[in-house]
Chains A and B, each alone.
Chain A
Amino acid sequence: DAGITQSPRYKITETGRQVTLMCHQTWSHSYMFWYRQDLGHGLRLIYYSAAADITDKGEVPDGYVVSRSKTENFPLTLESATRSQTSVYFCASSGTSGAHYEQYFGPGTRLTVT
């Protein structure tokens, strides 16, 4: 299906484990973003990417790693999960398919770190 997908949709992991959240978009959008959403904090940018092999830190990058070897994929890895990383994670993309280069969001991944 066309659009932007995230997997898994729900994940429970233990403190200290590595976990990777996947994001895939079919629009060939050049820009991709990872956010976390927590009550009282709104959406906070973790990392973003302007193109394949180009990534940069956002507002809250500590404890996260990203890569973008292909335009359509932008995985987010928590190297050693902590309870403070319990959150809802959204992936978004932006490209020429939007009249105003608006960001289109995936459905989100709800991550719980125990």
Chain B
Amino acid sequence: AQKITQTQPGMFVQEKEAVTLDCTYDTSDQSYGLFWYKQPSSGEMIFLIYQGSYDEQNATEGRYSLNFQKARKSANLVISASQLGDSAMYFCAMRHAGNNRKLIWGLGTSLAVNP
């Protein structure tokens, strides 16, 4: 069954340090995409970063990078130099090719950045 697992319900990090949020996925398909979204306390869902299953390089977007390990079926989000504004829920999601762009979502990880 297709599934996304985020094993860390809550995480803490000191300001300016790096943090890794875990995401593992289960699929038998070869073509898929992985997404990370941020949901601050204000409630909106913000797209952060995308990794395609055929991408050879790990995706990066500013302070966000994706540690993609295809054989282990993991797509961990790395946030470098954490800022107070990074405190939020983070969701990992997966989309399969030909799946009408539907996403399968993890339950999220709550990140708190301490000053």
Contact = CB atoms under 8 A, between A and B. Distances in A.
Sort chain B's interface into a size bin. Answer: 20 to 34
Interface of A: 31, 33, 40-45, 48, 50, 56, 58, 88, 90, 92, 94, 98-105, 107-108
Contacts of A98: 47
Interface string B38-53: 0000011111001010
Closest 7 CB pairs of A and B: A105-B45, A100-B50, A42-B107, A43-B105, A102-B47, A94-B101, A31-B101
Nearest to B107: A42
Instruction: Specify the main secondary structure of chain B where it touches its partner.
Output: strand
A107 B91 CA distance: 16
A103 B47 contact: yes
Contacts of A33: 102
B91 A42 contact: yes
